[in-house]
């Protein structure tokens, strides 16, 4: 008789499997936490993410890395644009929207509306999903597809796409945003801060795959020595504390 043994990777149908506690900051199981690799940075650009619902449930979605590193990032889940997302995209004339998505003309990296990439603060509209999901969301939304676009030709970060299983379709969302922000005039330190937790996330995934198990995460020193983990940031990682509530509007 074969007994269905509960394991950490294959939860028992009755729910009696050992449940690993999860980090409140990154949502990953505690041994796979990447929070210590986070160093927060600021950008003058507004980042609005339209996330496909399936991507929101993906264990290796990279939007949490983006949100932890740039806390002002706004994320709206849904296949269709919500009124709140519309307000975020079009509600700030001083930072006109720019869709991070390939333009009709394949070519180098750049902005299709001809604006200087380093001169104007923008609202960067990011679609988070597989290429198929993103294409569907853009094609079904005339206002979205009519926006000026920022196209990317990846430079350094494609190494993750080649090595890591989580991103078979090319750049992950956080990699694309990192490249876009530098193209829009941000300092390279912004890109580095975004890519460091991603490198840790991917490195831990690869280490588990190579070792055929998660116990390898119990020895982070050995993981760093073996090249799976990036160096820690110079500044201490920020604590995973929630943002304070917004101040009430003054009476009129």
CB of 64 to Zn ion, least distance (A): 9
User: Please, are residues 131 and 169 in contact by the beta-carbon 8 Å criterion?
Assistant: yes
Q: Does 25 bind Zn ion (CB under 5 A)?
A: yes
Q: Does 26 bind Zn ion (CB under 5 A)?
A: yes
Sign of the torsion angle spanned by Cα atoms 173, 143, 121, 49: negative
User: Please, are residues 236 and 40 in contact by the beta-carbon 8 Å criterion?
Assistant: no
User: Please, are residues 172 and 63 in contact by the beta-carbon 8 Å criterion?
Assistant: no
C-beta of 33 vs 194, nearer to Zn ion: 33
- In sequence order, the 6+-apart residues with CB closer than 8 A to the CB of 114 are none
Stretch that binds Zn ion, among 2-10, 35-43, 93-101, 129-137 (CB under 5 A): 35-43
Return the number of other C-beta atoms located less than 10 Å from residue 84's C-beta. Answer: 12
Stretch that binds Zn ion, among 27-35, 103-111, 129-137, 182-190 (CB under 5 A): 27-35
Tell which residue, 90, 85, 83, 49, has the closest CA to residue 172: 49
Tokens 């449940």, residue? Answer: 19
CB of 204 to Zn ion, least distance (A): 11
C-beta of 32 vs 85, nearer to Zn ion: 32
User: Which residues, numbered 210-229, are part of the site for Zn ion (CB under 5 A)?
Assistant: none
C-beta of 24 vs 153, nearer to Zn ion: 24
C-beta of 23 vs 56, nearer to Zn ion: 23
Binds Zn ion by CB under 5 A, chosen from 32, 33, 171, 202: 33
- In sequence order, the 6+-apart residues with CB closer than 8 A to the CB of 191 are 178, 179, 181, 182
C-beta of 34 vs 76, nearer to Zn ion: 34
Q: Does 35 bind Zn ion (CB under 5 A)?
A: yes
User: Which residues, numbered 115-144, are part of the site for Zn ion (CB under 5 A)?
Assistant: none
Residue numbers of the site for Zn ion (CB under 5 A)? 23, 25-26, 33, 35
């Amino acid at each position: 008789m074969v007994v269905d043994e509960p394991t950490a990777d294959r939860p028992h149908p009755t729910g009696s499997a050992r449940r690993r506690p999860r980090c409140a900051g990154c949502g990953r199981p505690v041994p796979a936490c990447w929070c210590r690799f986070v160093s927060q940075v600021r950008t003058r650009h507004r980042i609005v993410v339209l996330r496909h619902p399936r991507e929101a449930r993906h264990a290796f979605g990279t939007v949490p890395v983006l949100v932890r590193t740039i806390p002002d990032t706004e994320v709206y889940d849904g296949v269709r644009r919500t009124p709140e997302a519309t307000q975020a995209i079009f509600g700030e004339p001083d930072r006109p929207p720019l869709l991070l998505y390939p333009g009709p003309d394949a070519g180098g990296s750049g902005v299709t509306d001809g604006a200087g990439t380093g001169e104007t603060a923008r609202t960067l509209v990011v679609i988070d999903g597989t290429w198929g999901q993103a294409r569907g969301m853009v094609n079904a939304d005339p206002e979205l597809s009519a926006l000026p676009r920022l196209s990317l030709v990846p430079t350094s970060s494609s190494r993750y796409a080649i090595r890591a299983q989580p991103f078979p379709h090319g750049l992950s969302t956080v990699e694309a945003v990192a490249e876009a922000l530098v193209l829009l005039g941000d300092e390279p330190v912004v890109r580095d801060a975004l890519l460091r937790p991603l490198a840790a996330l991917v490195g831990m995934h690869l280490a588990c795959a190579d070792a055929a198990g998660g116990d390898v995460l119990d020895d982070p020193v050995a993981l760093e020595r073996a090249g799976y983990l990036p160096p820690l940031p110079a500044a201490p990682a920020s604590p995973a504390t929630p943002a304070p509530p917004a101040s009430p509007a003054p009476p009129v």
